[in-house]
Amino acid sequence: MSDIEKTQELTVTLEEQLSKKVSKTILSKSVKIKTKKQKKGNFWGLMKFMFPLQVYKVMVNNGRKSWFIFRRYNEFHSLHEKIKKLYPDSNLRLPGKKIFGNLDPDFIQQRREGLDNFIQELVTHPQISQNPDVRAFLALDNPRNAQEPIDNDTFEDSDNMNGRDINPVNLGPSERQSVKPSDFEFLKVIGKGSFGKVLLARNKHEGNIYAIKVLQKQAIMKRNEVKHIMAERNVLLKNVKHPFLVGLHYSFQTPDKLYFVLDYVNGGELFFHLQRERYFPEQRAKFYAAEMASAIGYLHSLNIIYRDLKPENILLDSKGHITLTDFGLCKEGIDHSGTTNTFCGTPEYLAPEVLRKQPYDKTVDWWCLGAVLYEMMYGLPPFYSRDTAEMYDNILYKPLRLRTNVSAAARSILDGLLQKEKENRLGAKRDFQEIKHHAFFADINWDDLDAKKINPPYNPNVSGQLDLKHFDPEFVREPVPASVGRSMDSCKLVSASVMEADNMFQGFSYVPPAEDAFS
């Protein structure tokens, strides 16, 4: 590996400390810290008294060792001056000093981002990153001399603070050091999302094939989606026992990425098959809808609203059974009478109460089931328009049209699921029980369905686990990024993790206990 490749692994973000007593909890805003040596009439002493001293936290990782250091702005400034003289062509930029107005939140944010950019420029430069002053600044050669004031009662303006190695993430009882990116051979890109990619991967030790969802922490934080990602992780942990929900085998993290090691199903997205066939026969649509309803009912029993049922999130396995995936919009903690009001979902499948920005409950999922069932039988979502504003208007006000090319029972369940007032919607009173006992599902044996004893009406006919014919060729042709399989401890690269990210994603890593492990 070249020096350039090595230095590109180093990323740093900064964090201000918040109080005179530095808590063991990591906080994220600036702090008023008074110096003890303030003299009357001394202008700079007065300035220190009137304006807070901003201290920044930097998290550093080197192989298996991790530590954090505390640096003041003057230390960044001093380093900048030294490096600028040694490397005049580097064009390193540092945010300027500001005596007045330095408590302004915008200024604090801008300075923090500026200092972070400065550090990133340092550590990604192959020569500058090896400079002794830079290495000393990051305590790379002697991490035990890193600043660590956490155990002090007061945080003084001093460089003489002893440090200790720390693990940047508290992984909890599920932590297993053996689960890391280099345990897997990443074979193909099979999907892409807002925060990363889904890759086909083989575990080098077991030989098992998985779908691994790899997410970029920085992208998640930029869009304030940490809660959604952690909710997805939490829901995945609860899905282990259900046949129609994708299962989580492991979750773990590196300084810059999150990894979900998931069931691999290669029958293709329902969306893919609908596009190709335009619509399904009623019996086939009923089978898929029954399996979806079973999965949603199970989530509801755990007080979880799914909120994003759509053909793109419904996969077929190699036999033709459905698997729900992507739990990023799930809402936890909603009991039988609970509501929430976050505006989220996919336009074609949004329930009227969501569009009205009213509190909504679990019945939004039954609306979505109705919309997907309608699309499977008629070829388009029920109120579809290419113009989003018109489509929203249709969802709110346009009467539901049900053509007679489907059975009366099918029209009845669609009418019940697609009631614009949630109180009148099928499932409003007894949730899943109302759905499963509707006449449309009269010929479904639900125990056999959940046991996968009912033969699916369509078989994807895949030749094996590596058969990718049902995946978008655009993804499959994409090269696998080298960084996804790189484990920091195995390649001994220096890195600096984002302390904020590790706090936000605390408890992310997961390995199932032996009794829950997949065969």
Model confidence pLDDT, tens digit, residues 500-518:
445 566 666 666 655 444 3
276, 372: one domain = yes
Residue 222 annotated as lining a ligand binding site: yes
pLDDT at 511: 67
275, 258: one domain = no
pLDDT at 241: 80
Instruction: Name the least confident of 99-113, 148-162, 177-191, 212-226.
Output: 148-162
Domain holding 300: CATH number? 1.10.510.10
The Cα–Cα gap between 497 and 67 comes to: 10
292, 404: one domain = yes
193, 223: one domain = yes
pTM above 0.75, yes or no: no
| Whether pLDDT at 490 is above 90 | no
| Whether pLDDT at 68 is above 50 | yes
Mean pLDDT confidence for 70-97: 86
Catalytic hit among 116, 263, 308, 361 = 308
pLDDT at 512: 63
Q: Does residue 308 have an active-site annotation?
A: yes
pLDDT at 409: 98
Task: Determine, yes or no, domain membership for 162.
Answer: no
CB 325 within 8 A of CB 313: yes
pLDDT at 517: 42
Q: Are strands 248-253 and 257-262 parallel, antiparallel or unpaired?
A: antiparallel
DSSP state letter for 418 = T
29, 115: one domain = yes
pLDDT at 53: 56
pLDDT at 32: 33
State which of 88-92, 119-123, 176-180, 435-439 shows the largest mean pLDDT: 435-439
374, 260: one domain = no
The Cα–Cα gap between 52 and 399 comes to: 61
pLDDT at 454: 97
The residue from 99, 127, 145 where one domain ends is: 145
Domain holding 474: CATH number? 3.30.200.20
350, 365: one domain = yes
Task: Determine, yes or no, domain membership for 300.
Answer: yes
- Determine the structural domain holding residue 47 and report its residue range: 3-145
10, 121: one domain = yes
446, 471: one domain = no
The Cα–Cα gap between 101 and 52 comes to: 11
Band of residue 194 on the pLDDT scale cut at 50, 70, 90 = confident
280, 421: one domain = yes
265-294 pLDDT, tens digit per residue, is: 999 999 999 999 999 999 999 999 999 999
pLDDT at 62: 59
CA 141 to centroid of chain Cα atoms: 34
| Whether pLDDT at 137 is above 90 | no
The Cα–Cα gap between 466 and 266 comes to: 8
State the chain's mean pLDDT as an integer.
77
The residue from 450, 484, 504 where one domain ends is: 450
DSSP state letter for 212 = E
Q: What 3 state SS string does 358-416 have?
A: CCECCHHHHHHHHHHHHHHHHCCCCCCCCCHHHHHHHHHHCCCCCCCCCCHHHHHHHHH
Report H helices in 124-225: 132-137, 217-222
Mean pLDDT confidence for 332-357: 86
420, 300: one domain = yes
Give the total residue count for the chain: 519
Task: Determine, yes or no, domain membership for 191.
Answer: yes
| Whether pLDDT at 412 is above 80 | yes
Dihedral angle of Cα 518, 226, 201, 497, to the nearest 10 degrees: -120
